[in-house]
Copies of this chain bind each other. A is one copy, B any other.
Amino acid sequence: MGAECRERISLLRERMQREGIDAVLIPTADYHNSEYVADYFKTREFFTGFTGSAGTCIVTKEEACLWTDGRYFVQAERELEGSGVRLMRMMEPGVPTTQEYLEEVLPEGAVLAFDGRCVTDAAGSDLEEKLSGREILFRADLDPAEGIWTDRPAMPVSKAEILDVCYAGVSAVQKLGALREEMKKSGCAAYVSSRLDDNMWLLNIRGADVECNPVALSHLYLDQERFVLFIQEDAVTEALSEYIASCGGEILPYGDFAAFLGTVTPAGKVMYDPDGLGYSAALALCERLRTVRRHSPVQGMKAVKNETELQNLRGCYLRDSAALCSFIYWLKNTADLSAETEYTAAMKLDGLRAEIEDFRGLSFPTISAYGPNAAMMHYEAGPEDAAKLQPEAMLLVDSGGQYLSGTTDVTRTMALGPVSDEMRLHYTLTAVGNLQLMDAVFLHGCTGRAIDILSREPLWQVGIDYKCGTGHGIGYYLNVHENPPNIRWRYAPGMREDVIEPGMIVSDEPGVYLQDRYGIRIETILECVEKETNGDGTFLAFRPLTLVPLDRELLMPEKLTPRTREVLNAYHERVYREVAPLLPPEEAAWLREQTLPL
């Protein structure tokens, strides 16, 4: 792969030479700032060989660099081998940001090229500002893959489906009404969005254009009178046409979005989220119209699950947890480990999920990482390169499903046989953090920054940090990563930092990642609930949605605090009470043992 990438980059450099371009910026992005992108958009992977879900490549005449975050350091190092691409470890001391790098390497008057559809307005504007002193010329019309990626996959398209209100809880018409109220409050006449999950949620539709994300490639325009859904023609069914019309909307071809923005004349200001609209689209708007740039109100609305969604989710997580319990039972009791690999184990789990009635697919490719591979946070084993399992050390499995009743995400780390005391200590400290956050009580008004340390402190006490946030929001039969909520101890500039509200659901996933040795993660999804309101304010707490036991073989009960031991025992008791009825008798009996008080 390394050699192919070298060749591709050299072809790109030839074009840069011909067209007088000094640097090309290649983000990981479709036209929608999606976290996961369809193959058509995997230009950054095409040039670097790095398959992780997050990263930015910059190619200059002299070098090619890839920026990615702590989840991917180990993986990126391996995948970049031979490509000549230099790994830039984001947030590590001394490592410049992409902007700082460009500021450093680009001479005055240099030309920086990128695809302005694949760069958000936020990122593009930021770049403009940071480089404003240097008279850099921006060329936002370059698709770096053009002419080089000859076997580029087609743009994905699937039939859009309508999500019944028995799943969505609130009709699209009501949601549109609420958004229009928000627009009025902000003094805006129109709203424009290219964010796929926002658009899906707002209209109660779903698609299948991105692997694991039930979204349809689309843009949305809304004002007080009308709304327009821009969507690929092949995605439109008769039912969809009728449905959109019945909501008071119209459908236009996906490709007409740019032209539409160049001509539409709303009765006032246009609201858009600089993170949810492309740089080119925003330029087109701002040239002609007054705009208000703000965090998407739809993201805040979508994050607070309604009562129907919550009820569906509780059942969904229960069934999903039962599948994972069956998987762990199989792994611990009936699997011939030496005949299994990370990949076959993942297949086994995926198969158990697929049996669940309203299963629609995985919410992300199952991470099944054995031994040292688990130190890579987002490792994905293929059938060929998967490690063989053995009756020792630990297997980390991070997985989830898409269901009509919700989207799940859960991680458990399991001992497959003898483990070291250090592994057990690290697992136990991870569990303490996980349980402390689960047990948190906090005043309404807290953002994720105020509570992150509950999960992280036991590891910080021993000089260990996990290089990612503690928790993310999760869509309802939508993207597995949503923000808000967002539990982290620091936020990148511009990142939204919302107050945690009752009805939000959030992951709680501390971990230990020791390169070339092992990885541990415990991820439980929590529902935020109101605990009490008194003269001091409204106190919130969490209630676990995930109901899967922690691994007793990995726990050192004496290293749990008295309080976390209580919390764990109560959690395990609930796991048994609720999950056992869904399991065959021998699995239920096993679960009883796994959930006895410690």
Question: Which A residues are closer than 8 A to B by beta carbons?
Answer: 93, 440-443, 445-447, 449-454, 457, 460-461, 463-465, 467, 489-490, 531-532, 534, 536-537, 539, 561-563
Which residues of chain B come closer than 8 Å to A537, judged between CB atoms? 93, 465
State whether A453 touches B442 (Cβ < 8 A). yes
Number of copies: 2
Looking at the assembled complex, report how far the CB atom of A535 sits from the nearest CB atom of chain B, in whole angstroms.
9
> Which of chain B's residues has its CB closest to A446's CB?
B489
Which residues of chain B come closer than 8 Å to A442, judged between CB atoms? 453, 457, 460, 489
Could you say which of B449, B489, B563 contacts A443, with CB atoms under 8 Å apart?
B489
State whether B489 touches A460 (Cβ < 8 A). no
Report Cα–Cα, A465/B535, bound state, in Å: 9
State whether B450 touches A489 (Cβ < 8 A). yes
State whether B461 touches A443 (Cβ < 8 A). no
State whether B450 touches A534 (Cβ < 8 A). no
State whether B454 touches A457 (Cβ < 8 A). yes
Looking at the assembled complex, report how far the CB atom of A542 sits from the nearest CB atom of chain B, in whole angstroms.
13
* Interface hub of A461, A532, A561, A562 (most chain B Cβ within 10 A): A461
Which residues of chain B come closer than 8 Å to A536, judged between CB atoms? 463-465, 467
Report Cα–Cα, A539/B561, bound state, in Å: 22
Could you say which of B93, B450, B460, B463 contacts A453, with CB atoms under 8 Å apart?
B450
Report Cα–Cα, A445/B92, bound state, in Å: 12
A-B CB contact pairs (8 Å), 27 listed: A93-B537, A440-B453, A440-B457, A441-B457, A442-B453, A442-B457, A442-B489, A443-B460, A443-B465, A443-B489, A445-B489, A446-B489, A447-B449, A447-B490, A449-B450, A450-B489, A450-B490, A453-B454, A454-B457, A463-B536, A463-B539, A464-B536, A465-B536, A465-B537, A467-B536, A561-B562, A562-B562
Could you say which of B441, B490, B531 contacts A446, with CB atoms under 8 Å apart?
B490
Looking at the assembled complex, report how far the CB atom of A363 sits from the nearest CB atom of chain B, in whole angstroms.
29
Report Cα–Cα, A93/B532, bound state, in Å: 15
Could you say which of B450, B461, B467, B539 contacts A450, with CB atoms under 8 Å apart?
B450
Which residues of chain B come closer than 8 Å to A457, judged between CB atoms? 440-442, 454
> Which of chain B's residues has its CB closest to A531's CB?
B463
Report Cα–Cα, A532/B460, bound state, in Å: 11
